[in-house]
């Protein structure tokens, strides 16, 4: 399969994530958009990894073919940990402000 399709998909997801972070004020949605960006990158990594493994250059040492795909699992694990921390922050935010609107945070300003 052509790598271009993966690239376009991944870029689309990433852009949606960025725009989501920039325009939304709800902390949970921003958080989800961050995850979207992360996973867009993960997708790209897996796609390139597969393409790399199929190419002739590394056929002789198949042992390394799946490296990046394993690496993605690690990223997912770390992302899960990060999600728990992030959600905890959002919970604390809600408890304090009764809202998950990030613009509420500017009250630290003064």
Partner 1 sequence: MNNVLQIAWLLPILPLLGFIINGLGRNILSKAISGLVGCLVVFASFLLSVFIFIEVKNGNSQVVHYFDFLNVDLLKIAFAFKFDPLSSLFLLIITGVGFLIHVYSTSYMHGEPDKDFAKYFAYLNLFIFSMLLLVMGANYVVMFIGWEGVGLCSYLLIGYWFRINDYTNAANKAFIMNRIGDLGFLIAVFWLIAKTGTVEFDQVFSAATIAKLSATDITGITLLLFVGATGKSAQIPLYTWLPDAMAGPTPVSALIHAATMVTAGIYMIARSNILYTMAPVTQGVVAMVGLATAVLAATIALKQNDIKKVLAYSTVSQLGYMFLALGVGAYTGAVFHVMTHAFFKALLFLGAGSVIHAMGGEQDMRNMGGLKKYMRTTHLTFLLGCLAIAGIPPFSGFFSKDEILAAAYVHNPVLWVIGVITAVMTAFYMFRLYGMTFLGKFRGSHEQEHHLHESPAAITFPLIILAILAVVGGWIGVPKIFVHGGHRLEAFLEPVFRESNAITTKHEITHATEYMLMGVSVAGALIALIYAWRRYGKYQQIETSPKGITKILENKWYVDEIYNSTIVQPLRSLSGFFNNIIERKGIDGLVNGTGKLVNYGSRQLRWLQSGQVGAYVLLMVLGILILFIIQLFL
Residues that bind partner 1 (CB under 8 A): 18, 21-23, 25, 102-103, 105-109
Q: How far is the CB of 20 from partner 1 (least distance, A)?
A: 11
Burial class (CB in 10 A: 0-12, 13-18, 19+), 92: exposed
Measured from the CB atom, the residue of 19 and 78 that comes closer to partner 1 is 19
Measured from the CB atom, the residue of 28 and 53 that comes closer to partner 1 is 28
Q: How far apart are CA 19 and CA 81, in angstroms?
A: 24
Q: How far apart are CA 57 and CA 63, in angstroms?
A: 13
Measured from the CB atom, the residue of 26 and 53 that comes closer to partner 1 is 26
């Amino acid at each position: 399969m052509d790598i271009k399709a993966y690239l376009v998909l991944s870029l689309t997801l990433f852009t949606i994530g960025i725009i989501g972070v920039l325009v939304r004020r709800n902390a949970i949605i921003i958080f989800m958009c961050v995850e979207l960006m992360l996973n867009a990158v993960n997708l790209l990594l897996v796609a390139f990894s597969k393409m790399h493994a199929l190419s002739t250059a590394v056929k002789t040492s198949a042992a390394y073919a799946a490296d990046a795909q394993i690496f993605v699992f690690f990223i997912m694990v770390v992302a899960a940990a990060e999600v728990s921390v992030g959600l905890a922050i959002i919970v604390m935010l809600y408890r304090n402000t009764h809202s998950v609107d990030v613009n509420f945070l500017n009250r630290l300003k003064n």
